[in-house]
Amino acid sequence: MSQVLDIERYDLDIKSNSRSHHTQLCGEERLIVRRGQPFNIILHLTAGSKDFKPGETGLTLIIETGPLPRKESDTKVTFSITDSTVDTDWSASATYDPSGNTLSLSISSSPDAPIGVYSLTLDQNGKKTSLGQFTLLFNAWCPRDAVYMHSETKRQEYVLAQHGQIYRGIHKRIKGTPWNFGQFEAGILDICLKILDENPKFVSDADKDCSARRNPIYVTRVLSAMINSNDDRGVLVGNWGKIEDGTHPGEWIGSGGILHQWAESGPVCYGQCWVFAAVACTVSRALGIPCRVVTNFGSAHDTDANLVIENLYDEDGKRISGGDSIWNFHVWVDSWMTRPDLGQKFDGWQTSDPTPQETSEGVFCCGPASLKAIKEGELTLKYDVPFIFAEVNADVVDLVLLSTGQFVKFSGSTKSVGCFISTKTVGSDDRRDITHQYKYAEGSKEERQVYEKAQHHNKLQQRGEKPGLHLKIKLADNMMVGSDFEVYAILTNNCMEARTCNFLFFARAVSYKGKQGDSCGVASDKVEVPSGEERRLSLKLEYESYGTAITSDRLIQLSAITIDKETIDFNKAEKTIVLDEPDIKIELLGEANINQSVMTKLTLLNPLPEQLQDCSFTVEGVSLTDSKPITAKYVFISVVPCSRGNFKAKF
């Protein structure tokens, strides 16, 4: 039987752990560590207790987070103490020091674990000992973490720096304003975790929300919604009008006071874009997500999502108020992370905007959107790329409204939106222009090509479609066994240019276990599909061909393939159909009375163009047939189409 250690006390070794996990600025009141990296706990054994002997002492650790810890959600994990730790999952090893009668545990968290406050319990064959709590953060120093940042100087700037610059003004007169992010000040981390716990997704499904906190994409999107208070008990109330109460947005110089006030009394009055962004940066850095504040000068607000800012005037030159506008400047944040949902190409900086402007999925939030997707005009990718693309790259059109009701364009610009996009330089207070990260040079061939692609993608997204070639199979309404019918393969070209493809469409019998049988029909063609159009290839399935091929399962597998040899683009669509069989009609020949027999008539319509032979009807009914089926064999049904076979049964 395994021995049980008698533990006198435990030491979370906060000072040493904090130093190695870059959390020493949070203080030494509690253990705060970053995921995917080992931390140490020292167990002091009672004097006279038995020595720890590997293999003879069964030690298991249990870690839990959230109000409803569950193994299935990875909010509860149980793991044994072994000889060494691994860097891919929760693990632990132990080192015994007989001279000090201590057992040092090295615990490594999963680099994909949900962030939050965890409890730690030691289980010795059912005897459980609490080892306290620790807070787990994202880890920009861990190569396996989604927020890993290779450069140490950038980690120092975008995770650890507590002071920064926020740029405002106009593009010809840019002014930096100092800001105290203060993410390591007392109480701030608790408030940041409270923000996550106040979000509506946590309230509606705490288990799902806590589990999703493993993902910086999810956390960043939640913060984008929670920094403003439009849909929830978020941090800041926006005000762009006359301010007669609360604090004017221009009076704030740091995030700490705002966050403490929110924690004590709810939404704080007031904020504007730079305040929303600065608070979002504080919270992101506190949770371990690398983050920077970004200012866009000449920032478009495209309310009708057409990538064009339309300035409307009457015939006297007076401006007509409309939904679209261009702000002198607008401020948001970029956060650093991988995008496994989009592909490695879109890793890196992701834009999110906590200022409440437009709703996204029904909530006032925006992003995260990959900077690379914004720059390349990939408007169909998550999240909110069209809105942010318009902020930095919309065209401007000036229109006059004539008395006839007609709009006439008299001016415009392709260069006035999105210029001098600025952030603080790493390691200094100098301004860094990062416009090139968001867009190609104004007036360049690449910039116009991207804009045209963005317009194309924007129209596709509004129709709920995606770019590229798309193939689908459309079935006939009536596919009764024995009938002839047509099915169609439809190729849609959502590319910006015409495509020429070899088009194949074939049908094959298949069993319910997936085993393929004989061919039921083939069609092929070479088609040219202009941009935005579709081409169809029909395949007629005749009973004469499929009747002998199908099994009693009546299954036919349809497969369509297109091959564009020029672009090496292959597309495939498959669909398995079940042929309908005729219904059996049952009718009573007389009135049904209790405890009296009644005659019934069963009728079957023959759908086949051939005679049915050696057939039978089988009938069974509860309390009607004495638990035995009634069978009538050798019912003759004529070859004539739509002819019926009948059977009468008495119950």
Binding residue positions for Ca(2+)? 393, 395, 442, 447
Looking only at the bridges linking them, the beta strands covering 38-45 and 102-108 are antiparallel
Q: Cβ(36)–Cβ(108) under 8 Å?
A: yes
Residues pairing with 522 in the sheet: 506
Looking only at the bridges linking them, the beta strands covering 31-34 and 127-137 are parallel
Looking only at the bridges linking them, the beta strands covering 419-424 and 291-301 are antiparallel
| Rounded alpha-carbon distances, angstroms, from residue 226 to 262, 303, 323 | 11, 22, 25
Q: Cβ(381)–Cβ(366) under 8 Å?
A: no
- Nearest to residue 455, comparing CAs of 398, 380, 396? 380
Residue 384 has, within 13 A of its CA and on its CB side, a CA count of 26
- Measured CA to CA, the distance from residue 416 to residue 400 in angstroms comes to 19
- Measured CA to CA, the distance from residue 151 to residue 160 in angstroms comes to 13
Looking only at the bridges linking them, the beta strands covering 395-401 and 407-413 are antiparallel
Question: Of 353, 456, 457, 501, which one is the catalytic site residue?
Answer: 353
| Rounded alpha-carbon distances, angstroms, from residue 457 to 153, 164, 445, 494 | 37, 36, 18, 9
Q: What is the dihedral of CA 188, 191, 193, 199, to 10 degrees?
A: -140
Sequence-distant contacts of 342-347: CB under 8 A, at least 24 apart: 342/370, 342/373, 342/381, 342/382, 345/372, 346/370, 346/372, 346/373, 346/378, 346/381
Question: Of 21, 22, 330, 457, which one is the catalytic site residue?
Answer: 330
Is 330 one of the catalytic residues? yes
DSSP sequence for 250-271: GG--BSHHHHHHHHHHSSEEEE
| Rounded alpha-carbon distances, angstroms, from residue 402 to 308, 316, 507 | 20, 10, 60
- Nearest to residue 227, comparing CAs of 217, 218, 238? 238
Is 89 one of the catalytic residues? no
- The sheet that has 534-541: what strands, in order across it? 469-474, 485-493, 534-541
Residue 389 has, within 13 A of its CA and on its CB side, a CA count of 30
Looking only at the bridges linking them, the beta strands covering 76-82 and 91-97 are parallel
Residues pairing with 169 in the sheet: 174
Token pair of 439 as six digits: 């867009």
DSSP letter for 115, please: P
- Measured CA to CA, the distance from residue 598 to residue 534 in angstroms comes to 58
Question: Of 273, 291, 365, 520, which one is the catalytic site residue?
Answer: 273
Is 520 one of the catalytic residues? no
Which single residue is written with the structure tokens 């995008």? Answer: 339
> What are the residue numbers of the active site?
273, 330, 353
